[in-house]
Amino acid sequence: MTVAVEPDERVRIFGIRHHGPGSARALRKALEDFKPEVILIEGPPEADPIVALAADPGMVPPVALLAYVSAEGEHGDRRAAFWPFAEFSPEWQAIRHALAAGVPVRFCDLPAAHQLAEPPDDHSGGVPGADPGPAGPETPGREDAEALEQVRLDPLGTLAEAAGYDDAERWWDDVVEHRGDGPAPFEAIAEAMTTLREHAPPMPEGHALREERREAYMRKTLRRALKDGFERVAVVCGAWHVPAIAAGLGSARDQGAVTATGDDRTLRGLPKTRVALTWVPWTHGRLAGRSGYGAGVRSPGWYHHLFSEPDRPIERWLTEAARVLRDEDLPVSSAHVIEAVRLADALAALRGRPLAGLDEVTEATLAVLCEGAELPAQLIQRRMVVGERLGAVPDSTPMVPLQHDLRAEQRRLRLRPSALEKEHDLDLRKPTDLDRSRLLHRLRLLEVPWGEPAESGRGKGTFRETWTLLWRPVFDVELIEASAWGTTVRGAASAKARSAAAGAEALTDLTSLAERCLLADLDDALPDVMRTLADRAAADTAVAHLMAALPALVRTLRYGDVRGTSTGPLRTVVDGLVVRVCVGLPPAASGIDDDAARTLLDRVDEVHDALALLDDAEHLARWRDTLAGLIDRPGLHGLIEGRLTRLLLDAGRLERVADRMARAVSVGESPARAAAWIEGFLAGGGLVLVHDDALLRLVDGWIAGLSPEWFTDVLPLLRRTFAEFEAPERRSIGERVRHLGSGDRAGRAPEDPGDDDWAGLDAARVGPAGQTIMEILGWSPSSP
């Protein structure tokens, strides 16, 4: 596209790189010189009423404009888009300059009402200089489009290649970010973008139409500002759009000019939906990604440092890196910092760079401060180069009631959102910690997983929970979606729980939901969940479903009391399930194949552990009686029989277990069934073989007596069984086996064949194998 229009002295178009500190610094100086009467900024016009909040002291970048569909769409989806700003974003500096100078700010991009009316699509490449427009919070890139519109998506890459650079980031840093107080780069950028657009390949039809609409609306907003009588208008936009916006300044006679009539025709008939906008906190980690609005930057922490510390940035950066390493008890001295600065400067000089960039600083950090160790260098990368910084928005920011309620709860419970993972160990005997636990569980019900519970949290006692908290910007979108359920976190979680109970299909889903309701203290929703659960349990005849549902209910009973919640209705359901499981287990265990036996084995273990946790004498006795009556049933699968034998042995309900094992591994049984029996018996751990010589001798003798063919067949099963043991158990079993062999040799009966057993063996061939076996068993020449 060739643009040949007469310049309008009333307008200055500043083509910037999104999230570029050099662009931000140059733009701020250019605005101070130009003194515009109005500033037009690429962004959704619906944000004009809330742009003044950027001047509030409580607004701390990184933050983002969030646009979302305020009414349910035809398919029940809630689309959203972000426009993030960091301290070093040129757009943010333009907003702050305008508010400080009392100059009106208008956003000039295509309204979000039009952009969110269509299915979300990624129009970004996440590359510097390209302007993608808004995208959903997790919108993936389209590789097929990237290849076709490479010049458009990565204009800086083309310019860098023309300048002899193989890295667009490095070229941009050298010519803009590290340039200091030189002449403004905006005229050169505009000229370069005009040339690039002339040679850019055609975009896919959908992308091209969207770009035309966006640029048409930008031109329309500019014309409106001029019509309103402003004599000095500043336009801040992605560098790619500069030629297209300039094309709207000429008359119809100018070559390449675009008229208002043409733009109106382009914008006619656009789909539209109702949207709302607000400010939300953002993070540097999200800026480093390729999703969302604006080009992703690899090093937001580094760019923030360049913008906020223009004086001696390399020395200050390496000094801060040394402090980070010292905080981790790593020895770093001032001499290390001095040498690192010298190395970074030397690398920059050798490479012809005006200032050491991130590559040189990273190499100096690795070589000097970290002394070549990769792990400390990764710490610097995470803490400083990306720099997980979480922004903040003031209380006056427009929010849905659910967001306001959550903020109030966060203040009351002293749970501050953070972009860094933080572990919280909660003592449920303390009221504040108990309320924290309930809040986190309610948010998880609302699918806002701010906290992730540790699986081992309850292992410390029933009154302890461990949570890992990490706030993500997308949670604000999820809170807005969850606001359809209620205006408070508790009320919304209760409403969603009742809805989930009505729509649950599996019995296990209902038992899990009941557990979560108790953990979240949703006593107003629990009766509805329990009624549905009781009705479903009464109608479900599959014992496997009942067994799968029981453990969650027992956990709820066990740990609900610690929270002071009522579990009466839940106890009634548990009592009925235990009886039905005990009645239905024997038929369910008959005539099953290997896969079904393995599934049933897991269910038996889960129910056994759950009843032990419940510690109800009547239920335990009924369960053990069921197992005792089932163990001698003909045709019982070996896996199940072995497991029941072990459970009853541990409960003290079975004698002469050695005889049972002897029959299971006898010659009359197939090796496959014997192996399954052994696997089931040892599924609870191998400690029994450490303390019972008779059982160990039986297992050892059975394995030793297998034929080569059968040994090969059952070896994978045995290996899987013994691999599940803890390392100390395996070591102890090996020691016991070694002593068993020693005792056999010392106590050999007179009538034993003795050395005749070895007649006919080739000692030369046996020797290496025997040596290997002795090493595996830990024997040495001095062993007895």
Cis omega (within 30 of 0) for bond into 62: yes
- Under the banding of pLDDT at 50, 70 and 90, the label for residue 153 is low
Q: Is the pLDDT of residue 457 over 70?
A: no
**Whether pLDDT at 712 is above 90:** no
The contacts of residue 580 (CB under 8 Å, 6+ apart) are 537, 543, 546
* Cα 254 to Cα 245: distance, rounded to the nearest angstrom: 14
Q: What is the model's pLDDT at position 496?
A: 93
Confidence of residue 251 (pLDDT cuts 50, 70, 90): low
Domain ranges of the chain: 11-287, 311-386, 401-490
Distance (Å, whole) CA 347 – CA 615: 69
> Does position 255 have pLDDT exceeding 70, yes or no?
no
Written as one string, the DSSP assignment of 638-658 is: HHHHHHHHHHHHHTT----HH
Q: Rounded to a whole number, what is the distance in angstroms from the first to the last CA of the chain?
A: 93
The Cα 230–Cα 248 span in angstroms is 16
Region 763-775 average pLDDT: 71
Residue 488: Cβ within 10 Å count: 17
- What would the pLDDT profile of 16-52 be if each residue is shown by its tens digit? 888 878 888 889 999 999 999 999 999 999 999 999 9
301-322 pLDDT, tens per residue?
A: 888 888 888 888 899 999 999 9
| pLDDT at residue 22, rounded to an integer | 80
Give the lowest-confidence range in 194-198, 200-204, 697-701: 200-204
Residue 147 — very low, low, confident or very high, per pLDDT cuts 50/70/90?
very low
**584-623 pLDDT tens trace:** 888 888 888 888 888 888 888 888 888 888 878 888 888 8
Let me know: does 295 contact 168? Beta carbons within 8 Å: no
Q: pLDDT digits over 160-171, tens only? A: 777 777 666 677
Of the pLDDT bands very low, low, confident and very high (cuts 50, 70, 90), residue 424 is very high
* Averaged pLDDT, 157-185: 69
pLDDT tens per residue across span 257-269: 788 899 999 999 9
**pLDDT, mean over the chain:** 80
* Token output for 356: 């050491």
Structure tokens at 743: 């005792």
pLDDT recorded at residue 741: 57
Model confidence, pTM: 0.68
Cα distance between residue 192 and residue 243, in whole Å: 10
Which residue has better confidence, 322 or 536? 322
Q: Which residue has the higher pLDDT, 563 or 645?
A: 645
The alpha-helical segments, DSSP class H, found in 589-726 are 594-614, 617-631, 638-650, 657-664, 671-681, 687-691, 693-704, 708-723
